Amino acid sequence: MAATILLLALVVGAKTGNMPDFSVLREYGKFLFIAFAIFACALAVVRFLWLACVERHPAPLGSFLSTFVRFFGDEERLANGLNGTAVLIVFGSAFSVLKGAIVVLSPFGWDRTLSHIDRILAFGGDPYQRLWWLVESHLAVTTFNFAYNLWFFLLIGTMFAAAFASRDSALRHQFLSTLMLTWTIGGFFLAMAVSSAGPCYFARLGFGNTYKPLMDALASTARDSPVWALVTQDALWRGYIHPSAGSIGISAFPSMHVATAILLALYWRRRLSLAGPFMWVFAGLIFVGSIVLGWHYAIDGLGGAAIAVLCWKTGGYFFGRFAEET
């Protein structure tokens, strides 16, 4: 599947001239390395304190070290990890080409339609107006802003957890394949068919001032506390105005943030039952946050959720026939 998507990306890249943005990949890699270093150190401290203070292990240091020896000595886990990581790198490189090619192949033309659908869904108003009490709350905006950035680390963490699973199970295959399928169908083909930029770019594209109150409110919040979404939106807009090889594309429908959050919830509900409720709440935060932060129309999130569930069910049916259940 990853190789097929890479071939598709090579064809698309040859037509559009778009190539992966290695500077962005390096930047993400730097932050990812820092995050994993902090997380690994914190996990090591917690594990050691648990052994020493809770379990009162007679040799906590030895038990602590043996945990890592068992992990790195598990040949099946390492084989799974190398295979899964290679797949994800190939797919990530391919998708970066596809994402940047969307607006080149299909200029924005659906924003007014999606905005109209939103007003129908919100019974005559705009969804952000129904959520105005959250838009006006600096605490709420900060919370959604944090969740939107946390999404990236939860995604990467889950990708590694699935890739390095101790057993090559149906669930592992289902998540990795569904992730690629959802991002390819939703993040490229549907995004190109329903090409749209999102509320934050509505006025910049000359579609009107429907979302100006929302963007003004977010700018007002940013004067008191950082709103990272606005910084990212401006960076993406600069890439759209002055495109270059590796430019990261703009796309609203369907919301891949929401789609991915749904996939994470579906995966962790099966992998670790205690994490399930947390991940469903997180998916809800991403959906509401996508509206409050001006990234998406409400229909974008609903579309993303639908395509994620459909791909998840498809992956579960297919791989459930060919791989171990647990």
Q: Which residues pair with 169 in a beta bridge?
A: 324
Supply the DSSP string of 131-178, one letter for each residue.
THHHHT-HHHHHHHHHHHHHHHHHHHHHHHHHHT-SS-BHHHHHHHHH
- What's the pLDDT score for residue 290? 95
- What's the pLDDT score for residue 326? 46
Would the CA dihedral through 27, 32, 37, 41 be positive or negative?
Answer: positive
User: Is the link from the previous residue into 60 a cis peptide, with omega within 30 of 0?
Assistant: no
Q: How far is CA 132 from the centre of its chain?
A: 25
End-to-end Cα separation, the chain, in angstroms: 22
265's CB contacts (< 8 A; 6+ apart) are 276, 279, 280, 282, 283
- What's the pLDDT score for residue 144? 94
Give the tens place of pLDDT for each residue, 69-83: 776 676 787 888 888
Per-residue HEC secondary structure of 169-203 comes to: EHHHHHHHHHHHHHHHHHHHHHHHHCCCCCHHHCC
288's CB contacts (< 8 A; 6+ apart) are 131, 134, 144
In the chain, which stretches have pLDDT less than 70?
A: 18-33, 35-36, 39-40, 68, 71-72, 74, 243-248, 320-326
- What's the pLDDT score for residue 60? 74
Model pTM score: 0.85
- What's the pLDDT score for residue 27? 59
* Interatomic CA distance for residues 153 and 261, integer angstroms: 12
